[in-house]
Chain A
Amino acid sequence: ETGVTQSPTHLIKTRGQQVTLRCSSQSGHNTVSWYQQALGQGPQFIFQYYREEENGRGNFPPRFSGLQFPNYSSELNVNALELDDSALYLCASSFGREDRGRTGANVLTFGAGSRLTVL
């Protein structure tokens, strides 16, 4: 069983640029959530995808967008990068609501993250 993998692990961009981060979910998981973790803070929910549809969004502007593919992998896109976007971006996968009763259904599995620096 493979875990959650994210790419790239590190990247540096400049203000105004665009970035795409990628995530492969754990085998058997059909739900992907994205979190932003600034230095010294806890992760903040960006949005979640379930079966290729957005299923909830946190307090992030529209320049943060995402996709989920039929194989349940996902992308996070950020346009018009700002300095404050510098953070660790975490992807987490989980079972869907149809699996709510199974063992481990309430567990999020996080990837190692993509560390973005905006200069």
Chain B
Amino acid sequence: RKEVEQDPGPFNVPEGATVAFNCTYSNSASQSFFWYRQDCRKEPKLLMSVYSSGNEDGRFTAQLNRASQYISLLIRDSKLSDSATYLCVVNHDRGSTLGRLYFGRGTQLTVWP
């Protein structure tokens, strides 16, 4: 079983739409959770960390459900520039240097005009 499971999509939505991505993780000892964004043929870049209480950054809202081992990302008022692959990421190294991240395969989003 993979550490992180994501629906690969693709999701194709019009500008202004609201879109939600979900992922599940298998290791209940996971400590840190993130969403990364990866543009075509580029490196992943941190979009936002995910906290147990849920957190929001502008049009982006991330939620974590530890009991269900489930992470979500909601994008409101989609922009053309949001088109990218969104990677769900977990880390379960306790007390060590953050570095070993487990990535989902990514969910591809295309926002059309």
Contact = CB atoms under 8 A, between A and B. Distances in A.
A97 B95 CA distance: 8
Given A90-B43, A112-B43, A48 B100 contact: yes
B43 A42 contact: no
A111 B45 CA distance: 10
Interface string B42-54: 1111100100000
Given A42-B4, A43-B44, A113-B43, A108 B99 contact: yes
Contacts of A44: 103
The bracket for how many chain B residues form the interface is: 20 to 34
A112 B44 CA distance: 8
Contacts of A107: 46, 98
B44 A97 contact: no
B42 A112 contact: yes
A97 B97 contact: yes
B72 interface: no
Contacts of A48: 97, 99-100
B84 to A, nearest CB: 14
Contacts of A96: 97
Interface in A66-119: 90, 92, 94-97, 100, 105-108, 110-113, 115
Contacts of A90: 43-44
Contacts of B99: 31, 33, 48, 50, 55-56, 92, 94, 108
A7 B98 CA distance: 24
Interface of A: 31, 33, 35, 40-45, 48, 50, 55-56, 58, 90, 92, 94-97, 100, 105-108, 110-113, 115
